Chain A
């Protein structure tokens, strides 16, 4: 389980996270929802130690972040982080060089699934394919937890469908997934848990099936209540 307790982050005088507390379980898809600037990306970066926070605690299966943890948890940022000169196969080599949990077989499988070629250069990828390669790099690791930042933003409908298919596939089976989005409709039925953020705090945290069953509300109904009510 990934657990955040009272995480606070200031940048200058501005409070970006104002005591964020929530949990994301293994074998579940947890979705961080909020408008841009709600602190979604910052939360993922804080979990990965990519940005400092001043207060609170983040643990992964009860442990704090450490170098060896980078094989247990992986982060797929919104932007391409591989070098433009690399070909996809160079990127594979880079990952294989540094990660014991890199699963080459799965990497090739996802490559086929997304209909990408090994020889394509990172700099030549379309926006949709960039998102897919990003996703691939994370999914091909045998990691227990995968964090994805806006996997659906700014890409074409077909790429979105393909990426959405990943969430109901064996590629995320038994893993803990946290994804951020400001647009829930693509994945409403794919997620287990929704965490609604605004102004750097968690406004509501709920299991989607439970809210549908107990209160007869869709995720968007709850969002409406929280953000507009």
Chain B
């Protein structure tokens, strides 16, 4: 695991976002064990207290779950995972819409451009698969 950190944003928030992304794309599976706070701090070369904070928040959000002394695991509740995915999508859309509206581009043109871009990416994907 590696994260390129933004030096101007709280590291624990970036760690949580990274976890959410990994869960949303299925890189981390429901019920999977996550590294200990020490292991993750070593992997990411960040302060263990920061990891501690990230884990605590994720625990409170119901993202991870700890049973006694066992290692923490990703939540098994599928609704939670679904909710995470949705919130990530909403967040991305919100950001996108925010930018686009500030540029004052007509809706139709936006749809067109998005369609075009997605098609382009799709073709590239196919090429890469060949």
Q: Do A and B bind each other?
A: yes
A-side residues, CB < 8 A to B, are 27-29, 164-165, 167-170, 173, 188-192, 209-210, 212-213, 216-221
Known: A212-B11, A218-B7. A164 touches B45 (CB 8 A): yes
Chain A residues whose C-beta falls within 8 Å of the C-beta of B38 in the assembled complex: 168-170, 173
Chain A residues whose C-beta falls within 8 Å of the C-beta of B42 in the assembled complex: 165, 168-169
Kindly count the residue-residue contacts between A and B in the assembled complex, taking CB atoms under 8 Å apart. Answer: 57
Chain B contact residues: over half helix, strand or loop, or mixed? helix
Known: A189-B5, A219-B7. A165 touches B13 (CB 8 A): no
For residue B30, CB closer than 8 A to chain A, the reply is no
Q: How far is A168 from B11 in the complex, measured between Cα atoms in Å? A: 14
Chain A residues whose C-beta falls within 8 Å of the C-beta of B44 in the assembled complex: 168, 189
B-side residues, CB < 8 A to A, are 5, 7-13, 38, 41-42, 44-50, 53
Q: How far is A129 from B9 in the complex, measured between Cα atoms in Å? A: 35
- Is there an interface contact between B45 and A190, defined as CB atoms closer than 8 Å? yes
- Is there an interface contact between A216 and B47, defined as CB atoms closer than 8 Å? no
A174 nearest CB neighbor, chain B only: B48
Q: How far is A98 from B45 in the complex, measured between Cα atoms in Å? A: 34
- Is there an interface contact between B45 and A216, defined as CB atoms closer than 8 Å? no
Partner of A29, one of B7, B45, B47: B47
- Is there an interface contact between B11 and A189, defined as CB atoms closer than 8 Å? yes
Chain B residues whose C-beta falls within 8 Å of the C-beta of A164 in the assembled complex: 45
8 further interface pairs, Cβ-Cβ under 8 Å (given A168-B47, A190-B46)? A28-B49, A29-B47, A165-B42, A189-B11, A189-B46, A210-B10, A213-B9, A217-B8
Q: List 15 A-B contacts (CB under 8 A).
A: A165-B45, A168-B38, A168-B45, A168-B46, A168-B47, A189-B45, A192-B47, A209-B50, A209-B53, A210-B10, A212-B7, A213-B10, A213-B13, A218-B8, A220-B7
Known: A165-B42, A168-B42. A190 touches B47 (CB 8 A): yes
A186 nearest CB neighbor, chain B only: B45
- Is there an interface contact between B12 and A209, defined as CB atoms closer than 8 Å? yes
Chain B residues whose C-beta falls within 8 Å of the C-beta of A219 in the assembled complex: 7
Interface centre among B9, B44, B45 (most CB of A within 10 A): B45
- Is there an interface contact between B47 and A191, defined as CB atoms closer than 8 Å? yes
